[in-house]
């Protein structure tokens, strides 16, 4: 094999535990400073290239906030933290009647993603705003990823208070659910 293969024969308590290996193949992105930036298991045609492009492009994202009529549009919101590389929030639209999250899912072709019906937004004061509806994905149902390994969909929530500066996206309260925290809604 023309790539680096490591095995310390320590099973799930050795090298596999350090890198949180849950399947084969397992990939790890390590910075030049030796920091583990991201790791994942699984294979699909072109998945490695898509993951690397997504990771590289993340560093080049520039967030913008603009007003179009009664709608505030946050393009490329940059979260404080996230526990996932499977979903990305590309755009947030804030109106008097709803909050719309434009999402993109990344996964190997043929693998599935799912969004919980218990997904909610949480504001700085701890108020929850539950998922109202979705376009392009049905909550609680498995969506099989297309050959491209990318898929766009929208999630609709109640309107957020006008003075909300940041919001958390929480896909239910389970340990493995998607959590994207500290999404800014203003440039301040």
| pLDDT 10s digits, 132-144 | 999 999 999 999 9
What is the average per-residue pLDDT within 88-111?
Answer: 92
Angle among Cα 82, 142, 12 to the nearest 5 degrees reads 55
Instruction: Based on the fold, state whether residues 97 and 160 are members of the same structural domain.
Output: yes
pLDDT confidence of residue 57: 64
Count of structural domains, the chain: 2
Instruction: Based on the fold, state whether residues 27 and 85 are members of the same structural domain.
Output: no
Q: Say if residues 121 and 129 touch (Cβ distance below 8 Å).
A: yes
- Helix, strand, or coil (residue 23): coil
What is the DSSP secondary-structure string of 30-54? Answer: E-TTS-EEEEEE---TTHHHHHHHH
Instruction: Based on the fold, state whether residues 81 and 132 are members of the same structural domain.
Output: yes
How much of the chain exceeds pLDDT 70, in percent?
89
| Rounded Cα gap, residues 174 and 94, in angstroms | 27
Instruction: Based on the fold, state whether residues 124 and 51 are members of the same structural domain.
Output: no
pTM for this predicted structure: 0.76
Residue 156 confidence (pLDDT) above 80: yes
Provide the pLDDT confidence category of residue 60 given band limits of 50, 70 and 90: low
Q: Which residue has the higher pLDDT, 187 or 170?
A: 170
pLDDT confidence of residue 157: 98
CATH assignment of the domain containing 100: 2.60.40
pLDDT confidence of residue 59: 62
What is the average per-residue pLDDT within 57-67?
Answer: 79
Domain membership of residue 103 as a residue range: 64-184
Instruction: Based on the fold, state whether residues 29 and 113 are members of the same structural domain.
Output: no
Mean pLDDT in the chain?
Answer: 86
Instruction: Based on the fold, state whether residues 133 and 42 are members of the same structural domain.
Output: no
Residue 61 confidence (pLDDT) above 80: no
Does 4 fall in a domain?
no
Does 1 fall in a domain?
no
Residue 66 confidence (pLDDT) above 90: yes
How much of the chain exceeds pLDDT 90, in percent?
51
């Amino acid at each position: 094999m023309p790539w680096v293969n490591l095995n310390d024969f320590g099973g799930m308590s050795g090298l596999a535990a350090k890198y949180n290996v849950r399947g084969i193949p397992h990939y790890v992105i390590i910075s030049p400073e030796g920091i583990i930036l991201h790791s994942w298991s699984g294979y699909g045609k072109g998945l490695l290239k898509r993951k690397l492009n997504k990771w590289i492009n993340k560093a080049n994202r520039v967030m913008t906030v603009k007003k179009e009529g009664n709608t505030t549009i946050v393009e490329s919101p940059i979260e404080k933290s996230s526990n996932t590389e499977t979903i990305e929030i590309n755009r947030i639209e804030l109106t008097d009647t709803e909050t719309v999250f434009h999402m993109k899912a990344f996964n190997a072709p043929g693998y599935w993603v799912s969004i919980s019906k218990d997904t909610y937004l949480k504001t700085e004061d701890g108020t929850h705003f539950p998922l109202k509806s979705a376009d392009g994905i049905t909550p609680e149902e498995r969506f099989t990823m297309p050959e491209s390994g990318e898929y766009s969909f929208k999630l609709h929530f109640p309107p957020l208070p006008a003075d909300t500066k940041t919001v958390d996206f929480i896909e239910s309260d389970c340990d493995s659910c998607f959590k994207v925290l500290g999404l800014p809604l203003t440039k301040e």
